Amino acid sequence: MTPKRSSKRAKPKAELEADRQQQQNQNELFPVVGIGASAGGLEAFMQLLSHLPIDTGMAFVMIQHMLPAQESMLSVILGRSTQMQVHEVTDGMAIAPNQVYVIPPNVSMTIDRGVLNLTPRGKGRGMFMSVDTFLLSLAEERGNKAIGVILSGGDGDGAQGLKAIKAAGGITFAQSQGSAQVSSMPNTAVATGQVDFILTPEKIAQKIAEIGRHPYIADRLSIISADSEDAIESKDALATIYSLLRAATGVDFTHYKQTTLKRRMHRRMVLYKLERIEDYAQYLQNNPAEVTALYGDVLIHVTSFFRDPETFEALNSKVFPEIVKDKSPQTPIRIWIAGCSTGEEAYSIAICLLEFLADRATNLPIQIYATDISESAIAIARSGFYTSGQVADVSPERLHRFFVQVEGGYQIGKPVRELCVFAKQNLISDPPFSGMDLITCRNVLIYLGAPLQKKLLPIFHYGLKPAGFLLLGTSETVGDFSELFTLFDKKNKVYAKKLLSNWLSIDLSPSNYPVTAINPPPLLAESWNEREMEKEADRIVWNKYAPVGVVININSEILQFRGQTSAYLEPAPGRASLNLLKMAKKGLRVELRTAIQQAKKQQLPIECTGVQITEGDRQRQVRINVIPFQAGSVAKDYFLVLFQDEPLIPAIAEASGDGNVNSEPKNGESQEIARLQQELKTTKEHLESIVQEHQAANQDLRAANEEILSS
């Protein structure tokens, strides 16, 4: 049968190509800048817009905190500061480049496929975070073409949104403290460590215009042929970058998702106006601090309390009942949160489990091990402190029951904190936990390449009990390891462990790549250079008219004696020791400890006067100077401690036989009062330093205890 011919004229190839190109241009994503502010934000908005070029190719969306019933004139006011067209947003409004959009009052705004969507502001729980709401949707919708800016404001709104934008590869800004009328919002954003630039509104505008011309934002990064000479150079540069990261951090990123890593690198290149990966590799070699910054970018943490609420409902209704089915008070519930980030996931599961057990009046021991490769994330998790914005999605009931309100935010309650053990762990190279009822590893596999996933999933199988469960992220699966796990809850990505007939071989060996230091210093660099140290100490002593003293290290161990110190120091009874605080004569120790502590903390010379030593019936007054210094190029702290006698306080003369006083008692009394006041002040400072040391020691002990428990 002869096919029917279309009555329409077939388009020529050139026209088809033109149509295709037009459709591609329509679909091309242009950068969108989300700008949030609250109190004092109007002036900052106007300053920023007045310094922005009108042809950046970006759309600008302003989110201002307003009272629900307030009639907004913001679009009219901002229209006077720029030649760009300013719109008050209506539901379903499509955005376009080189235009400004302003949120109306009493609504929540998000962006989806270039369209701004408005929903009425509800009377929901917690603080209304309109800036975070928009920036989170912007990060998801625009990725590396999302730019977040936090200006003047009086709360913590926007901090979480900036973290999401940076995780997506975008660029983040915050207004500098000196230029903001109210600095809480920008300061909270800066405290997350996820802000790239802290500038005035004027300089933010200039930097945004500059960034808009960079290939990373403008989508002009060249696509290089795999067999071209440039591609070979690019591969060499990437190998160099991976080597630098591995040497500095001990983590091998060779088999991580390359697209994610390159996006992070390109994001860093924007900050330094670099367009070639080879130039960035050279920059890293010359700037070791940037290696650490890149590592922090790669390990950026985006998480929240009770993320994906349906998942926690599934744990409560399906997983926990199976786990506790055959439990007794002698068999604890064991859970491992792999890739716990800053702790919200671990605490959320702990809270959910406590609620589940309370409903059943069951008293079972709980052991939750939470690990992450990032030391900074683990430190935040251990502290258990979160801002109001970070707990915005936690219900008031849970806040009241499981959190303690403190200055600036909320602290995890002791019953929840004591269930969780946090430790640093590299999932690929460090030994795993075992005998677990539940392992959660959400949104970690998506960053790992196939070789690492193939290594990690058998480790999880090994770590589970025969009836254990594995919880993955909503975008993750077990892939080719269906023989190890069976799907328990498809919607929420919960898997149950399968029993194998033969022994499973797992790879617990560390990376095959050796960790080497970049330009390792010579071995002698760790020990002090005695000649340089002596020279530096001599210079200080000469300036102080050569009193006697000692040179000590950070641990108060004596390294050198300067002159005859027997009037102030003596060997302590018992085991021989060169610790200055043990050798100091009675009367010097308290003031000496306080002065050394202050010198360590302030890195400034500290002087104590009127320190009294009693030797039998004789009293002496001593001046102590503690002077911090470094010897040569060795980055170690040393302290020169100098002792010098002061003139004696005139004793109060006794009355003579005729009843007259031989000296001035008032003068003697005033000097004695001054001495006692100085002694009281010194004692207070000493007690404060002891309290600080005690608090620091408690934190160190907690961290060490958790590391031991996890080991």
- The CA dihedral of 375, 377, 378, 379, to the nearest 10 degrees, is 90
Cα distance between residue 607 and residue 251, in whole Å: 46
Catalytic residue among 65, 214, 301, 461: 65
Distance of alpha carbon 668 from alpha carbon 448, whole angstroms: 77
**170: CB partners within 8 A, 6+ apart:** 139, 142, 143, 144, 145, 146, 147, 148, 267
Whole-angstrom Cα distance, residue 603 to residue 628?
A: 6
- CA 170 – CA 270 distance, rounded (Å): 10
Would you say how long the chain is, in residues?
711
CA separation for the pair 321, 342 (Å, rounded): 28
456 CA to centre of own chain: 26
Active site residue 219: no
CB hemisphere CA count around 304 (13 angstroms)? 18
**Does residue 613 contact residue 586 with C-beta atoms inside 8 Å?**
yes
From the list 466, 460, 470, the residue with the least C-alpha distance to 499 is 466
Query: Is 65 a residue of the active site?
Result: yes
Q: Which of 132, 157, 196, 393 is catalytic?
A: 157
Residues 6 or more apart whose CB falls under 8 angstroms from that of 474 comprise 308, 311, 492, 493
Cβ atoms within 10 Å of 627's Cβ, excluding its own? 21
**Cβ–Cβ under 8 Å, residues 174 and 150:** yes
Backbone angles phi, psi at 669, to 5 degrees: -65, -45
What distance in Å separates the CA atoms of residue 342 and residue 420, rounded to the nearest whole number? 13
Beta bridge pairs of residue 569: 584
Tell me how far apart the alpha carbons of residues 674 and 668 are, in angstroms, rounded to a whole number: 10
Pair 60, 100: CB distance under 8 Å = yes
Kind of pairing between the strands at 403-406 and 171-175: unpaired
Question: How many whole angstroms separate alpha carbon 204 and alpha carbon 187?
Answer: 16
352 closest CA partner among 381, 323, 392 = 323
Residue 302 CB partners (closer than 8 Å, separation 6+): 163, 164, 167, 341, 443
Q: Using the 8-state DSSP alphabet, how is residue 653 labeled?
A: P
Tell me if residue 328 is catalytic: no
Please identify which of the residues 38, 137, 348, 556 carries the catalytic annotation. 38
Alpha-carbon distance of 58 to 138, in angstroms, equals 13
Can you tell me the distance from the alpha carbon of 569 to that of 554, in angstroms, rounded to the nearest whole number? 19
By C-alpha distance, which of 586, 640, 628, 639 is closest to 611?
Answer: 586
Q: Give the E-state strand segments of 91-230 in sequence order.
A: 93-94, 99-102, 107-112, 115-120, 146-150, 171-175, 197-199
Distances from the Cα of 393 to the Cα of 160, 370, 397, 598, 695, angstroms = 12, 21, 12, 42, 31
Positions marked catalytic: 38, 65, 157
